[in-house]
Every structure is written in C-alpha cells, then in structure tokens.
Amino acid sequence: MATHKPQKTPGADLLLAFITAVRFLTIVPVPWYSDTDQECFAKSLVFFPLVALLIGTAGWLVAMICTSVFSGPITFCYLRFSPS
C-alpha cells in the first residue's frame, strides 16, 4: 500500500509564514515546527511590515484607551515606565 503526501496549499504556506513572522517579532506564543523553520522564515520576511503595523496599532490603542481613562501625566508615567 503506497502512501502519499498531501499537497500543500498556497494559503497554508502564507499562513505559516505569517505565524512565523509573528513568532519572531513578538512574544506571543505560537506553534513552532522546527523541521520547516528555515524555509518558513525566508518566506515570512514579506510579512514583517504587516506584523510591525499590527504591533504599532496595538500600542496606539493602549495609549488611546489609557488617555481616555486616566489623566495625561498618569498615562505618560504608565506608558513610559511600564516593562515592555
């Protein structure tokens, strides 16, 4: 009985490359497959600007929420001295 490998879909490769970029640029725990790490990392370089934009947007949202909830000096001290 012969076994065959399932074909990879292009969408799955792109998703794996995006997840690799998120894993490399953040501390978000995502699954890691070491057998395809070099190949996925090379493909993930395209997603670095998108992941950076998502990180920046998340930081901006935190700053806007803190500004609307707390006063200016408290928000400044929190954002300036918070461990990140």
Which pLDDT score, from 0 to 100, does residue 45 have? 92
pLDDT tens string 29-69? 887 766 667 788 888 999 999 999 999 999 888 888 887 88
pLDDT in tens, 12-22: 888 888 888 99
SS3 content of the chain, % helix, strand, coil (to 5): 75, 0, 25
Report residue 83's pLDDT band, with 50, 70 and 90 as the boundaries.
Answer: low
Report the pLDDT value the prediction gives residue 4, as an integer from 0 to 100.
Answer: 45
Tokens of 13: 């490769």
